């Protein structure tokens, strides 16, 4: 057989096989050949805001089944909507924060973040006092000897599972003495934890080509992880570095799985989607404080309803010196840094 | 006894605030004051002891207490009540429980006390729209040496250059 005949045959084969594919494409069952029922349902799932009633229940059952397979328990996925007359606001006292990173790890535990590769929704940034808030001098990697990413020791795990066990604070170091060399606050430094600023005018939402991320009526910017295509435009648009991408299938041990979830919040994510802080939507929509507020040992974190004139968030905005990060970008964050002294 | 039991114990103390703030009608809880183990009630020992108000080095008990809180102008019985040791004494002579020690601190630290009542200084847990648990001043501040001491931080993030998959390496 010479070369020309061989190419003739392969061209004929190619044409007949591609015609077959086109014909087969008319039937969905052939298109999805080899896919499981769950995969097909996930592929054909509607956008969260268009889901209701039976469709929504079906989706939740499917997600719970997926969790059951991965973590041994399905957990419960809440879909409760925003409360009426509630607009969430957050206050963080820069003059009190000591940079201990307990919020970072309490957040990871609460929100089912992947432990490997590790994703931290909160980034605590250290600045030298003489520099002020100058991002050229920012250092999120201070005290590397305290451990790496998700590697917590038993004392630290105990503090996370029982925040009360850290009190009284002045007796703390008998228990969690990870590193006598590096203690925080380090002299002549101050700390600014940065997570999602829950902007009123969010650049990430404008950048999303699929409307997979949007602002809820209570001010929380959320993501439908099943609608996100992983293009990461939102990450490029966010001026605060608050969005994180799942580069790999997130590793989450069944023992670490938090079964109390919200569809728009802490349900486990998959590879190829973006995730971010949701003010612990699964807690705050039930009236609880976010978990970072609960863990903060020095009480630097404040949370409440901006529409309630009696709330602590309104008190601090009205009575303290308030700072908004990158105010000049007109993103209108609902995250207010303040100085109480 | 677990730490939680020690802190909350059987003695969860519910206090109704009588200030003209929004919390006036709201029930406020504080955890049990963070006594050293086995130290309370103080009268267990002090009822039998002779009163000695003199400034001196404590040799038999309370040896770990170092007074670094306006120590030149103050000694034990300025805050601790001499006749009934299980109570604290305000400057006006009123006796208060240890669970209300914030009233003692508030005598000097007025603006901080005001912020604490509004929920802006110090820590609250519970519900943002409902019942909250307040922490006492002494949960964070050692009353005898109130400045917050440096503590060990939790693990640090790792810079991207040490994550090969972020710079073109194989994805784990």
Q: Do B155 and A293 touch (CB under 8 A)?
A: no
Residue B140 near chain A (CB below 8 Å): yes
State the CB neighbour count (10 A cutoff) for residue B171: 11
Task: Look at residue B6 in the predicted model and tell me its pLDDT.
Answer: 44
Stronger pLDDT, A339 or A13, i.e. the higher one: A339
A208 to chain B, closest Cα gap in Å: 22
Residue B171 near chain A (CB below 8 Å): yes
What are A241's two structure tokens? 């570095």
Closest in A149, A156, A293 to B157, CB measured: A149
Burial B93-126 (b: 16+ CB within 10 A, else e): eeeeebbbbbebbbeebeebbbbbbbbbbbbbbb
Tell me what ipTM this predicted complex has: 0.86
Q: Identify whether the C-beta of residue A278 lies closer than 8 Å to the C-beta of residue A291.
A: no
CATH topology classification for A88-339: Alpha-Beta Plaits (3.30.70)
Distances (CA, A) of B119 to A119, A169, A338, B15, B133: 31, 19, 14, 15, 10
Least confident of A9-13, A307-311, A329-333, B59-63: A9-13
Touching A: B residues 104-123, CB under 8 Å: 115, 118-123
B4 to chain A, closest Cα gap in Å: 7
Phi, psi at A214, each rounded to 5°: -155, 170
Q: Identify whether the C-beta of residue A262 lies closer than 8 Å to the C-beta of residue A302.
A: no
* Mean per-residue pLDDT, A71-85: 94
8-state DSSP, A310: T
Residue A162 near chain B (CB below 8 Å): yes
Q: What angle do CA A161, A164, A169 make, to 5 degrees?
A: 120
Q: CA A259 to CA A123: how far, in whole Å? A: 25
Q: Identify whether the C-beta of residue A261 lies closer than 8 Å to the C-beta of residue A280.
A: no
- The residue written with tokens 């940065």 in the block is A194
**Can you say how many angstroms the Cα of residue A246 is from the centroid of all Cα atoms in its chain?**
11
Give CATH 3.30.70.20 domain extents, chain A: 88-339
Residue A77 near chain B (CB below 8 Å): no
DSSP A52-87: -HHHHHHHHHHHHHHHHHHHS---EEE---PPTT--
Question: What pTM value is reported for the model?
Answer: 0.86
What does the pLDDT look like over A156-198, one tens digit per residue? 999 999 988 888 888 755 555 555 678 999 999 999 999 999 9
DSSP A134-169: -GGG-BTT--GGG-BTT---HHHHHHHH-GGGG-SG
Task: Look at residue A294 in the predicted model and tell me its pLDDT.
Answer: 96
How do the domains of chain B map onto residue ranges?
3-148
Q: CA A332 to CA A326: how far, in whole Å? A: 9
Residue A270 near chain B (CB below 8 Å): no
Task: Look at residue A135 in the predicted model and tell me its pLDDT.
Answer: 92
- Count of helices and strands (H, E) across chain A: 11, 12
Q: CA A288 to CA B131: how far, in whole Å? A: 10
Residue A172 near chain B (CB below 8 Å): yes
Q: pLDDT (tens digit, 0 to 9) for every residue of chain B, 172 residues total?
A: 444 444 443 334 444 443 433 444 345 678 888 888 888 899 999 989 999 889 998 888 898 888 999 999 999 999 999 999 999 999 999 999 999 999 999 999 999 999 999 999 999 999 998 888 899 999 999 999 999 989 999 999 988 877 766 666 666 5
With a pLDDT cut of 90, the percent of chain A lying above it is 75
Which chain B positions have a beta carbon within 8 Å of A146's beta carbon? 152-156
- Under 8 Å CB-to-CB from A33, ≥6 apart: which residues? none
Q: CA A276 to CA A223: how far, in whole Å? A: 8
What does the pLDDT look like over B86-119, one tens digit per residue? 999 999 999 999 999 999 999 999 999 999 999 9
């Amino acid at each position: 057989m010479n070369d020309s005949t061989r190419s003739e045959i392969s061209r004929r084969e190619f044409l007949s096989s591609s015609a077959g594919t086109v014909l087969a494409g008319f039937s969905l069952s052939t298109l999805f050949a080899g896919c499981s029922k769950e995969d097909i349902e996930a592929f054909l799932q509607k956008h969260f805001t268009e889901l209701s009633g039976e469709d929504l229940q079906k989706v939740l059952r499917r997600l719970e089944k997926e969790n059951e397979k991965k973590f041994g328990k399905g957990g419960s996925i809440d879909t409760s909507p925003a409360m009426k007359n509630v607009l969430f606001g957050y206050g963080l006292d820069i003059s009190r924060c000591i940079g201990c990173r307990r919020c970072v790890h309490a957040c990871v535990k609460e929100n089912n973040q992947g432990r490997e590769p590790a994703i931290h929704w909160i980034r605590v940034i250290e600045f030298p006092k003489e520099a002020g808030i100058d991002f050229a001098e920012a250092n999120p990697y201070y005290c590397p000897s305290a451990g790496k990413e998700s590697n917590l020791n038993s004392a630290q795990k105990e503090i996370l599972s029982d925040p009360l066990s850290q009190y009284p604070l002045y007796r703390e170091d008998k228990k969690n003495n990870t590193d006598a060399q590096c203690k925080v606050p380090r002299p002549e430094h101050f700390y600014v934890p940065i997570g999602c600023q829950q902007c009123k005018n969010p650049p990430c939402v404008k950048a999303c080509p699929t409307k997979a991320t949007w602002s809820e009526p209570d001010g929380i910017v959320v993501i439908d992880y099943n609608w996100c295509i992983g293009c990461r435009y939102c990450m490029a648009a966010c001026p605060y570095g608050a969005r994180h991408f799942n580069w790999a299938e997130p590793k989450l041990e069944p023992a670490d799985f938090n079964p109390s979830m919200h569809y728009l919040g802490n349900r486990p994510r998959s590879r190829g989607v973006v995730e971010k802080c949701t003010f612990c939507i699964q807690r705050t929509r039930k009236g609880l404080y976010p978990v970072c507020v609960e863990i903060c040992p020095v009480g630097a974190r404040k949370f409440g309803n901006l529409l309630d004139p009696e709330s602590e968030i309104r008190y601090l905005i009205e009575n303290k010196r308030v700072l908004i990060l990158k105010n000049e970008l007109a993103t209108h964050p609902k995250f207010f840094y303040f100085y109480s002294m | 006894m677990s730490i939680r039991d020690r802190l909350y114990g059987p003695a969860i103390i519910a206090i109704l605030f009588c200030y003209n703030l929004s919390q006036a009608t709201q029930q406020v809880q504080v955890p049990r004051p963070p006594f050293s183990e086995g130290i309370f009630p103080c009268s267990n020992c002090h009822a039998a002891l002779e009163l000695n108000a003199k400034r001196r080095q404590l040799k038999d008990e309370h040896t770990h207490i170092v007074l670094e809180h306006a120590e030149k102008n103050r000694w034990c019985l300025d805050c601790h009540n001499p006749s009934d040791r299980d109570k604290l004494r305000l400057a006006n002579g009123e006796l208060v429980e240890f669970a209300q020690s914030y009233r003692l601190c508030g005598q000097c630290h007025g603006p901080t006390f005001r912020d604490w009542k509004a929920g802006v200084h110090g820590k609250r847990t519970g519900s943002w729209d409902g019942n909250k648990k307040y922490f006492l001043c002494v949960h964070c501040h050692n009353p005898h040496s109130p400045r917050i001491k440096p503590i060990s931080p939790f693990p640090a993030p790792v810079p991207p250059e040490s994550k090969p998959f972020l710079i073109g390496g194989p994805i784990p």
